[in-house]
Amino acid sequence: LSVDASTLADVAGSLARTVGRVIHSKRAIGVDVAATKSSLSDVVTAADQEAERLLTEGLLRHRPDDAILGEEGASIAGTTGITWVVDPIDGTVNYLYNIPAYAVSVAATVEDGAPGTMSDGRRAIAGAVYLPVTGELFTAWEGGGAFLDGKRLSGPAESELGTTLLATGFGYTVERRTEQVEVLRHVLPRVRDIRRMGSAATDLCMLAAGRVDAYYERGLQPWDYAAATLIAREAGATVRGLGEAAPGEEMLIAGTPAVTAELAAIVAEAYRTLA
């Protein structure tokens, strides 16, 4: 690649912030549910669509030859090998209810034959997550570290499983939730407490900043985690799947090496009881 990943992180950060400010000011006026997707919980607002359009236009201005893939359907081919993976609002249900945990996520990914760090074979090399309500901007690039408003992050502190504040999330379908309840039944009694923030990108940034100790979720899509897993990793967190699998759709577990290993064992045990 002829481009410096820190330059891509700057592009991601400035677009995430610009678009985040737009959706935040729109929220003050109100919110329109434009559609529901896989279930009644899986909403798309007019702001999701508008934000994805703004992100796409901005990326095409800065990086006209890159590909773009967005949660709300953006799919633009490119010629550089870089694919931008964007989530205009991660935490749409929070946005709908005006709960402050929602995020704009922008990642530059490549698929260059090196081991993928995402379950679709891609690897994020630069990314940004902007939290419009707090105005916090998280950025990272591969090998360069992770930053919150320019200040370097150092990830989760060492904890025992019993003193782990654990973030998680749930999918939108009845089948996925039924299985997640079973996993939670195994996990909750063994940790300090659980947080369900409602935005995977926010969960992983909280981990990068050491505000939670670990995170796991099954059923994520690349736009939910592309930027934020890079931020968590570059802050020093371990981000893994179950067993040999790359983190992502099947399972994403993040935290310290010891806690992620213990969580992986508990989750695997829960799946065995489901089988």
Helix/strand/coil (H, E, C) string of the chain? CCCCHHHHHHHHHHHHHHHHHHHHHHHHHCCCEEEECCCCCCEEEHHHHHHHHHHHHHHHHHCCCCEEEECCCCEECCCCCEEEEEEEEECHHHHHHCCCCCEEEEEEEECCCCCCCCCCCCEEEEEEEEECCCCEEEEEECCCEEEECCEECCCCCCCCHHHCEEEECCCCCHHHHHHHHHHHHHHHHHCCEEECCCCHHHHHHHHHCCCCCEEEECCCCHHHHHHHHHHHHHCCCEEECCCCCCCCCCCEEEECHHHHHHHHHHHHHHHHHHC
Rank residues 5 and 129 by Cβ distance to ligand IPD and give the closer one: 129
Residue 91 Cβ vs ligand IPD, minimum distance, rounded to whole Å: 5
- Say if residue 125 carries a ligand binding annotation: no
- Which x/- pattern, by CB under 6 A, does the window 69-108 give for ligand IPD? --x---------------x--xxx----------------
Rank residues 172 and 258 by Cβ distance to ligand IPD and give the closer one: 172
- Say if residue 87 carries a ligand binding annotation: yes
- Say if residue 90 carries a ligand binding annotation: yes
- Say if residue 71 carries a ligand binding annotation: yes
Site residues for ligand IPD, 212-251, by CB under 6 A, read 217, 219-220, 224
Residue 119 Cβ vs ligand IPD, minimum distance, rounded to whole Å: 14
Rank residues 108 and 204 by Cβ distance to ligand IPD and give the closer one: 204
Residue 150 Cβ vs ligand IPD, minimum distance, rounded to whole Å: 25
- Say if residue 99 carries a ligand binding annotation: no
Q: Which stretch binds ligand IPD (CB under 6 A): 16-24, 60-68, 163-171, 237-245?
A: 163-171
Rank residues 66 and 71 by Cβ distance to ligand IPD and give the closer one: 71
Of 140, 161, 200, 267, which one interacts with ligand IPD (CB under 6 A)?
200
Dihedrals phi, psi of 62, to nearest 5 degrees: -80, -40
CA angle 16, 18, 22 (to 5 degrees): 110
Of 70, 171, 222, 247, which one interacts with ligand IPD (CB under 6 A)?
171
Q: Count the Cβ atoms, other than its own, within 10 Å of residue 265.
A: 11
Establish how many alpha carbons lie within 13 A of residue 61's alpha carbon, considering only the half-sphere containing its beta carbon.
10
- Residue found under tokens 């670990």: 214
Of 170, 173, 194, 266, which one interacts with ligand IPD (CB under 6 A)?
170
CA angle 177, 222, 44 (to 5 degrees): 65
Residue 194 Cβ vs ligand IPD, minimum distance, rounded to whole Å: 13
Question: Token pair for residue 26?
Answer: 């729109």
142 belongs to the binding site for ligand IPD (CB under 6 A)? no
Annotated binding site: 71, 87, 89-90, 224
Chain residues in the site for ligand IPD (CB under 6 A): 71, 87, 90-92, 169-171, 198-200, 217, 219-220, 224
Annotated binding site for Mg(2+): 71, 87, 89-90, 224
